[in-house]
Amino acid sequence: MSHLPEALFSNPVWHALEGPHRHLALGNGIARRYPADVAPFAALAEPSRAALDRLAELIEPGESVWIADPGELRVRQLALEGSLPCLQMVLPSAAPLPALAPDGIVALGAAEASEMVALTDIAFPGFFRAGTYRMGAYFGIRAPDGQLLAMAGERLNLPGHPEMSGICTHPAHRGRGLARRLIAHLAAFQRRQGLKSWLHVSASNSQAIALYHALGFQTVRSSLLKRFARAR
């Protein structure tokens, strides 16, 4: 069984914003967040009321963010809106990758940001933003007419462990193995840099979990995200 470093992965948003994504971090002291146009994620250095109070200062009225479960902590400025049980999965370094040709796989970036938002909004609205492409490398597959059919890329960046994310296929083109091709391509891209691939997936998304297991990913821990909103 492969493991993820507990010190990093029990609070991955914090360690991304304190580490490789420091240039994207807003806030200081005991609370950090990504810019609203990059990702709806924030983090606390510690599960304390003081940290949650500091986080509230970084959130605009009417805005919401997701943070790692702070237990039963609450502060007056923030309302708990929901929670999302997730699994963290890792691709062991020894797991074989399918020998798939990269034909038809293209790099995506700033020029394709609106297309990526439109595609991901079908699958998981609100998580992928206009500036999410700034978090890492993204790849896609297009139809002959140019339509973006599927994509995958990198989100949280921890030392040695870039997170796979934004993995989705347009509903009209599912069942063709497009996501599998992109995941294998991204995993090979990360391995060439000596990095270990991992991802978050909703604990209720059995179809995606089955695909990841088929590709060699192992479930290593559960996590809980909670969404807090600042009152208007």
Per mean pLDDT, which range of 99-103, 140-144, 227-231 is the poorest? Answer: 99-103
Helix-helix angle 206-214:178-191, to 10 degrees: 50
Dump pLDDT digits (tens) for 147-179.
999 999 999 999 999 999 999 999 999 999 999
Per mean pLDDT, which range of 141-145, 147-151, 202-206, 228-232 is the poorest? Answer: 228-232
pLDDT confidence of residue 99: 75
Query: Does domain 89-222 fall into CATH 3.40.630.30?
Result: yes
pLDDT confidence of residue 5: 81
Q: Give all strands of the β-sheet with 138-142 in edge-to-edge order.
A: 64-68, 218-230, 78-90, 198-202, 161-169, 148-158, 138-142, 105-108
- Locate CATH 3.40.630.30 in the chain: 6-85+225-230, 89-222
Contact 203, 169 (CB under 8 A): no
- 107 has which bridge partners? 139
Domain 6-85+225-230: top CATH class: alpha beta
pLDDT confidence of residue 1: 47
